[in-house]
Homo-oligomer: A and B are copies of this chain.
């Protein structure tokens, strides 16, 4: 059932197309199928041959984003070491996926009742587990629920990525600002 592996030709690299689509759609979420095709350097017909429709394309992008986020989690090894350092590693690894994440979150809001990809629940669980672990370690406060911290995590990544893309803040500060705010907050404390 592998559409994308043919006996002879593989002229159009599915992943390459997805990356081009992601790059465009994260900047202009309403981009047309034709625009996506041109951005990927292929014809609209070919785009349709690989992705049945706009929905299918978005679903594929969702799959790509989920894979990259899972990979980022794996690389960050969030189960190892102090939780705050793990959060620091995680933010660093997730940063490149920020724009795509932001796009997918917005897009997902439209799929109201439709079944959500269970991948999101798995990711939520991983982030949530990290914060819970931090609480059990005594590193994180216990009055902020893991669910809220998870929302805040994704929220900061998303709006941070957008702010960078929009030029409102400097890209080089992304990681530091998000980690420091997430962990330490804005208030000046005695320590540090």
Contact = CB atoms under 8 A, between A and B. Distances in A.
A102 to B, nearest CB: 9
Interface string A1-40: 0000000000000000000000000001110000000000
A188 B135 CA distance: 9
Given A29-B110, A155-B156, A177-B145, A185 B182 contact: yes
Contacts of A190: 189-191
Contacts of A114: none
Given A144-B177, A181-B185, 14 more contacts: A28-B112, A84-B187, A140-B186, A141-B186, A142-B188, A148-B177, A148-B181, A149-B181, A180-B185, A181-B182, A182-B186, A185-B186, A189-B191, A190-B191
